């Protein structure tokens, strides 16, 4: 069984701002994407890394690979308009066995702890899947016009990545979603739609997604104080 990390990194990251997509913004002279790639490069369970990126930034990814010694990065494919398109394109390009595990992770989650990644992979080896998520701690409020509802936070999870699934099942689920024009925001939605079981594993608050300028400021602060 091989473990293949798949990083969709073709987004524009407009909410962060800047002249380049957020995954190429630098902190301490290192691209955000490089931090993410290094997490998988260092993990002993991961055999290979594939990435989907906008064609305009392929050469930049190649430079990052060489500069930081990301030797596990063996496949760079052109990403699509949506995240779902990028993941599907990368999946279709892989030379993987049916039971190989695909570890899909947002390129903009650069502080993924090694423990969280390892636990997710080990969990998926046993249960066939792993959805990294954290339980809600705050009071939740749902507002619909003037109607207020307070959902029970004991049943609410904040979904993160990585999300780990068997190659054959994930490819089948994406093929179905593509055929049915089903739009999803992550792999767990695609798998659930296709009827495959999804198993939850504990995430980490450090594993946040850099989406806004405030997120980027927090990331830079954490990197500089480590």
How do strand 129-135 and strand 157-166 relate by DSSP bridges? Answer: antiparallel
> What pLDDT does residue 226 have?
74
Rounded to whole angstroms, the Cα distance separating 77 from 95 reads 13
Rounded to whole angstroms, the Cα distance separating 46 from 7 reads 13
Rounded to whole angstroms, the Cα distance separating 166 from 109 reads 22
Question: Which residues share a beta bridge with 6?
Answer: 50, 104
Rounded to whole angstroms, the Cα distance separating 123 from 164 reads 9
Rounded to whole angstroms, the Cα distance separating 177 from 192 reads 11
The angle subtended at Cα 25 by Cα 23 and Cα 30, nearest 5°, is 100
What is the residue-level pLDDT of the chain in tens, covering all 226 positions? 999 999 999 876 565 656 788 899 999 899 999 999 999 999 999 999 999 999 999 999 999 999 999 999 999 999 988 999 999 999 999 999 999 999 999 999 999 999 999 999 999 999 999 999 999 999 999 999 889 999 999 999 999 999 999 999 999 999 999 999 999 999 999 999 999 999 999 999 999 999 999 999 999 999 988 7
Distance in angstroms between the alpha carbons of the first and the last residue of the chain: 35
Rounded to whole angstroms, the Cα distance separating 11 from 25 reads 13
Helices (H), the chain: 32-42, 58-67, 83-93, 114-127, 167-180, 187-194, 213-225
Would you call 197 exposed, middle or buried from its count of C-beta atoms within 10 A (0-12, 13-18, 19+)? Answer: exposed
Question: Which residues share a beta bridge with 142?
Answer: 149
Domain limits, the chain: 3-225
Q: Which CATH class is domain 3-225?
A: alpha beta
């Amino acid at each position: 069984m091989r473990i293949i990390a798949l990083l969709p990194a073709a987004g524009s990251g407009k909410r962060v701002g800047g002249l380049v997509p957020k995954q190429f913004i630098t902190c301490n002279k290192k691209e955000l994407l490089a931090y993410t790639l290094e997490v998988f490069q260092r993990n002993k369970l991961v055999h290979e890394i594939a990435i989907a990126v906008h064609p305009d930034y392929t050469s930049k990814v190649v430079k990052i690979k060489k500069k930081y010694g990301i030797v596990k990065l063996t496949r760079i494919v052109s990403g699509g308009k949506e995240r779902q398109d990028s993941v599907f394109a990368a999946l279709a390009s892989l030379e993987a066995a049916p039971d190989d595990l695909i570890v899909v992770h947002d390129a903009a989650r650069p502080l993924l702890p090694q423990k969280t990644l390892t636990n997710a992979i080990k969990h998926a080896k046993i249960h066939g899947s792993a959805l990294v998520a954290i339980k809600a701690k705050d009071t939740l409020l749902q507002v619909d016009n003037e109607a207020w509802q307070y959902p029970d936070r004991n049943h609410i999870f904040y979904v993160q990545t990585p999300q780990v699934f068997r190659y054959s099942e994930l490819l089948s689920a994406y093929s179905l979603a593509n055929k049915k024009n089903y739009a999803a925001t992550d792999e767990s939605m695609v798998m659930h739609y296709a009827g495959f079981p999804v198993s939850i594993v504990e995430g980490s608050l450090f594993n946040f997604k850099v989406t806004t300028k405030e997120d980027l400021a927090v990331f830079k602060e954490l990197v500089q104080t480590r």
